[in-house]
């Protein structure tokens, strides 16, 4: 199976022009890369960021439409060509007080629109709560990202050996089908330890995904 590498741009960059520049550079350097690469820019850039790379969103609401000022639904994301959506990122949980229950609603809403949810967790209790009500077919479309809090945006990557233990804990709960990613201070120097040594099926990359050369370095490292 191809590795999955997801770029989480977070609330960056500040202008569309810069975003298009990063997108173009990544696309231009992809060459014969075999991994599946997904770019998750801020919502407003989605329809105009560029063509030729798979797109994902960084969040989604759980209702399809209605009186929910400021929210974006999975149906809208699908209409904009998104195939993936990040759900329950630790920054959403911390800054916006999102709960496990909300993450679960978002996972189910994404699946209902045939968008692959990327459920972010840093402990197994979040995984169990996040997948409540999913059936075995749903689990085939689910992606779980293990993102240890201590490693996110800190430049302190989690030891691959410890991450591998968590990998097996997650695998035991979700079964054989769902893909499991590692995220947290990934760079071109440590990427292969998570994929080739610890056995993750891919990576969720934050800071390094805004630096095209570094991001391509990560992709090549694990391809």
Q: Which residues bind ligand PGA (CB under 6 A)?
A: 8, 147, 152-153, 183-186, 204-208
Shortest reach from residue 3's CB to ligand PGA, in Å:
16
Cβ count within 10 A of residue 156 = 12
For ligand PGA, the nearest residue by Cβ is: 206
Minimum CB–partner distance for residue 94 and ligand PGA (Å): 11
Give catalytic status of residue 147 as yes or no: yes
Residues 6 or more apart whose Cβ sits within 8 Å of residue 115: 60, 74, 77, 78, 82, 83, 84, 85
Smallest gap from Cβ 183 to ligand PGA, in A, equals 4
Which is the catalytic residue, given 91, 113, 147, 221?
Answer: 147
**Residue 89 designated active-site:** yes
> Is 72 or 186 the residue whose CB approaches ligand PGA more closely?
186
CA dihedral 31, 35, 41, 43 (to 10 degrees): 120
| Identity of the residue, 57 or 114, whose beta carbon is nearer to ligand PGA in the bound complex | 57
Among residues 36, 89, 98, 221, which one is catalytic?
89
| Cβ distance to ligand PGA smaller for residue 116 or 185 | 185
The CB-of-157 to ligand PGA minimum distance in angstroms stands at 8
Which CB sits closer to ligand PGA, 32 or 54? 54
Residues annotated as catalytic are 89, 147
């Amino acid at each position: 199976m191809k590795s999955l590498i997801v770029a989480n741009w977070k609330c960056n960059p500040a202008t569309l022009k810069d975003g298009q520049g990063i997108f173009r550079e990544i696309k231009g350097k992809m060459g014969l890369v075999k991994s599946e690469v997904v770019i998750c820019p801020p919502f407003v850039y989605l329809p105009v960021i560029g063509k030729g790379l798979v797109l994902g969103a960084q969040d989604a609401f759980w209702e399809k439409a209605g009186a929910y000022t400021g929210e974006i639904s999975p149906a809208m994301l699908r209409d904009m060509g998104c195939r993936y959506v990040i759900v329950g990122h630790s920054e959403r949980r911390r800054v916006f007080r999102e709960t496990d229950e909300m993450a679960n609603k978002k996972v189910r809403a994404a699946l209902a629109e045939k968008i692959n949810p990327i459920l972010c967790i840093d402990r197994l209790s979040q995984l169990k709560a996040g997948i409540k009500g999913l059936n075995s077919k749903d689990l085939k479309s689910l992606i779980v990202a293990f993102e240890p809090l201590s490693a996110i945006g800190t430049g302190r990557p989690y030891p691959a050996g410890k991450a591998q233990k968590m990998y097996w804990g997650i695998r035991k709960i979700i079964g054989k089908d769902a893909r499991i990613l590692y995220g947290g201070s990934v760079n071109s120097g440590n990427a292969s330890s998570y994929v080739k040594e610890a056995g993750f099926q891919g990576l969720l990359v934050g800071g390094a995904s805004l630096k095209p050369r570094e991001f391509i370095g990560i992709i090549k490292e694990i391809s």
